[in-house]
């Protein structure tokens, strides 16, 4: 059967065997090779506003490397006391020019490209706003290579950036897509990994969220679609503070990547040698018995249904004895996190973070 490696496919798939011992979080951290992303970020307020029943803060902070990180913090206007907190993680979608804007709104005017993303993937919603309206403190932060953290064209050689320009969003996103293999190779050469970088940065976002007096640090969750689902999986595996998580449209196995779908995915997925310790699906299981939910679409072009179902078996085994704390659901349709899926995710977060 045709596969990504042709005659070498069966051999490569045979290399990714189940480890002889149960992997630990320390194994995972060692494989990630995270860089030093500093301590608790010192956030500066860019501006504050109220919109559609929400109190919204536009923030930024400086990590030890790269341009400042911009972030959006949302909570119900007039909320009192400590609220459960959620790190909301935006998609990849082949669009690195935008970050936080993909799943938030700070006014009635929305960039047409962002409006298209929200319509196509999120049922027309800015789902981080919707979640905040339900009684959560929600933080959406840009991350390495996206939005405010994107790689600027003037900072790379002319032969690499080609004809792309910063004021042409589509040409920038084309550049950013073709630049991914260079980023990954450079990070490997530096002794780190792309997942190591984004997990370190997402953990600093958790640090900031937990430091706020209006957030309960004992009730922290995370959720996201696609690239945001990938970050959800890795962040759940790496950080014990995540008490509840929901991954949408990003659950499968290394077998699926090896044989079927590596061509469809970002370089952000891959950690050399990680398959020697645990399967992709098992990363979320490292946080058991903290509750996790996985939402899949049966016609999702990025995965094969059989491997999504095998991922379900892997996670079910990780939650043996805690079956009520794990759930995987399948929905009709293509790659998305639409309103019915969001409603199920919000109910899951309510169940575990509000009780």
Q: Which residues have a Cβ under 8 Å from the Cβ of 123 and sit 6 or more positions away? A: 336, 337, 338, 339, 342
Check if the beta carbon of residue 106 is closer than 8 Å to that of residue 72. yes
Task: Write out the H or E segment, with its range, that includes residue 113.
Answer: helix 112-122
Query: If you classify domain 6-354 with CATH, what class do you get?
Result: alpha beta
In the chain, domain spans: 6-354
User: How distant is the alpha carbon of residue 18 from its chain centre?
Assistant: 25
> Reduced to 3 DSSP states, what percent helix, strand and coil does the chain have, rounded to the nearest 5?
45, 20, 40
Q: Count the helices and strands in the chain (H runs, E runs).
A: 13, 9
Which residues 6+ apart lie within 8 Å of 294 measured at CB?
246, 247, 248, 251, 284, 311, 312, 315, 327, 328, 329
User: What kind and span of H or E run contains 175?
Assistant: helix 169-178
Closest CA to 74 of 123, 126, 109: 126
Task: Report the phi/psi class of residue 74: left, alpha or beta, with left for phi > 0 and alpha for psi in -120 to 50.
Answer: beta
| Ramachandran quadrant class, 350 (left: phi over 0; alpha: psi -120 to 50; beta: rest) | alpha
Q: Which value, in Å, is the radius of gyration of the alpha carbons in the chain?
A: 19
Long-range contact pairs involving 189-193 (C-beta distance under 8 Å, separation at least 24) = 191/33, 192/33, 192/34, 192/35, 193/31, 193/32, 193/33, 193/270, 193/271, 193/272
Range 319-337 burial, b when 16+ CB lie within 10 A, else e? beeeeebbbbeebeeebbb
pLDDT of 282 reads 96
Strands 44-51 and 54-61: antiparallel
Q: Which two tokens stand for residue 153?
A: 């064209």
Average pLDDT by stretches of 10, the chain with 355 residues: 93 79 89 98 98 98 98 97 98 98 97 98 98 98 98 96 93 97 98 98 98 98 98 98 98 96 94 92 97 98 97 97 98 98 98 94
Contact assessment for residue 306 and residue 253, using Cβ atoms and an 8 Å cutoff: no
Helices 25-32/227-238 angle, 10° precision: 130
Of 76, 45, 198, 218, the closest CA to residue 138 belongs to 76
Q: How many CB atoms lie within 10 A of CB 105?
A: 22
Q: Are 208 and 41 in contact (CB under 8 A)?
A: yes
Instruction: Tell me how many degrees the CA angle 317-247-352 measures, rounded to the nearest 5.
Output: 75
Rounded Cα distance, 119 and 290, in Å: 32
Give Cα separations from 74 to 52, 106, 230 (angstroms): 11, 10, 23
The answer to whether 206 and 89 have CB atoms below 8 angstroms apart is no
Residue 242 CA from chain centroid, whole number: 13
* Cβ atoms 325, 290 nearer than 8 A: yes
């Amino acid at each position: 059967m045709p596969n990504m490696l042709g005659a070498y496919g069966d051999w490569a798939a045979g290399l990714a065997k189940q480890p002889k011992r149960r992997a630990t979080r320390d194994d995972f951290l060692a494989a990630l090779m995270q860089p030093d992303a500093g301590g608790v970020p010192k956030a500066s307020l860019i501006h504050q506003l109220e919109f559609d029943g929400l109190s919204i803060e536009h923030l930024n902070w400086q990590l030890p490397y790269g341009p400042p990180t911009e972030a959006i913090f949302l909570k119900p206007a007039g909320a009192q006391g400590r609220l459960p907190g959620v790190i909301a993680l935006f998609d990849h979608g082949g669009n690195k020019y935008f970050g936080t804007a993909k799943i938030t709104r700070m006014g009635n005017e929305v960039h047409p490209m962002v409006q298209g993303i929200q319509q196509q993937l999120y049922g027309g919603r800015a789902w981080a706003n919707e979640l905040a309206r339900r009684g959560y403190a929600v933080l959406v932060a840009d991350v390495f290579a996206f939005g405010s953290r994107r790689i600027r064209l003037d900072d790379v050689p002319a032969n690499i950036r080609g004809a792309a320009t910063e004021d042409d969003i589509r040409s920038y996103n084309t550049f950013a897509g073709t630049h991914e293999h260079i980023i990954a190779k450079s990070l490997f050469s530096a002794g780190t990994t792309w997942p190591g970088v984004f997990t370190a940065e997402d953990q600093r976002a958790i640090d900031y969220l937990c430091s706020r007096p209006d957030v309960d640090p004992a009730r922290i969750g995370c959720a996201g679609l696609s690239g945001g689902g990938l970050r959800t999986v890795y962040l759940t595996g790496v950080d014990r503070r995540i008490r509840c998580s929901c991954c949408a449209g990003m659950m499968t196995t290394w077998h699926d990547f090896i044989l079927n779908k590596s061509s469809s995915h970002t370089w952000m997925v891959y950690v050399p040698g990680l398959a020697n310790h645990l399967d992709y699906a098992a990363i979320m299981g490292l946080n058991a018995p903290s509750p996790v939910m996985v939402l899949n679409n049966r016609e999702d072009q990025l995965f094969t249904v059989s491997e999504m179902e095998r991922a379900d078996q892997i996670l079910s085994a990780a939650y043996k004895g805690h079956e009520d704390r794990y759930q995987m659901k399948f929905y009709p349709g293509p790659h998305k996190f639409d309103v019915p899926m969001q409603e199920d995710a919000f109910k899951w977060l309510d169940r575990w973070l509000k009780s």
